[in-house]
Every structure is written in structure tokens, then in C-alpha cells.
Amino acid sequence: MVLEYHVHSQKREQFIDITSHLAEAVAKAKIDEGVVTVFVPHTTAAVTINENADPSVRRDILVILAKLVPEHGDYHHAEGNSDAHLKASLFGASERVLVQHGKLVLGMWQSVFFTEFDGPRNRRIIVHVEGRNQNNA
């Protein structure tokens, strides 16, 4: 099953928790075990799994990224968002999460985040759920 979700970023750089979208997709697919793949079809945004309990973790990641890949640098890309392309490449366009007993298998402090590097924008997230339920075992 493939589902599409939409998010709207509020800032140029931002982490948006999309875990609930993945959980909803698993529930709609009615699987007991399998895998969920989330894909971000954008070149200046990405997806990652990281801590959800302390927002300062996300802040720290963005601060360090800004030092490693500054917004303004010796870039040739004419749109002025080369740093966003580089950051998105560092994070990646997809993540996979296992499903067990009908639930996402994530650590206690983990969430799945859409990472915006060129906002604010309206963005798409593609979620693919594959697996089986106990009735089809």
C-alpha cells in the first residue's frame, strides 16, 4: 500500500515529527508485521530517525549543520539554496521502519522526522507499507 501525506514547514530549517503518519499508514494497511518505507521526493528536504524527547537535540543538529554547511558559501548553484541540497544529501531521502504486532518498531526516544532545509514550503511524503497480518500468515 502506498499513501501520500503533506506537511507544511514553518521555517527555513526545521524538524517535523511524521511518526503519526507512518503509524496511520500501518493501521490502514492492517498488517501485523512488515516494514514501512518513507520517501521524501524533494532535493532540499530529507527524512531521519532521531530523539523525540528533548527538542534541544534537534536544535543542536541544526546548529552543527549550519557550521558544517553554511547557508552562504562558495556555491555556484544560482537559486541560493545549495546548503539545503547538501544537507538533504547528508540525511537522505528515505528511511525504513520495521512493524511488529501492528506497531512501528522504534526505540523509546525515537521518532521519524521530516527535515526541512529550504522552507517554509508545502511538501509531500510518500509512505509504502508492506507486510502480512496473522490471517494471511
pLDDT in tens, 109-130: 999 999 999 999 999 999 999 9
The correct answer on CATH 2.60.120.460 for the domain covering 2-136 is: yes
DSSP-H helix ranges across the chain = 19-29, 55-68, 82-91
For 12, half-sphere exposure in the C-beta direction (CA atoms, 13 angstrom radius) is 12
Q: Kindly report the CA angle at 86 between 85 and 91, in degrees rounded to 5? A: 100
Domain boundaries, the chain: 2-136
45-93, pLDDT tens digit by residue? 999 999 999 999 999 999 999 999 999 989 999 888 999 999 999 999 9
pTM to 2 decimal places: 0.94
Q: What is the C-alpha to C-alpha distance for residues 1 and 41, in angstroms, rounded to an integer?
A: 17
Place of cell 494471511: 136
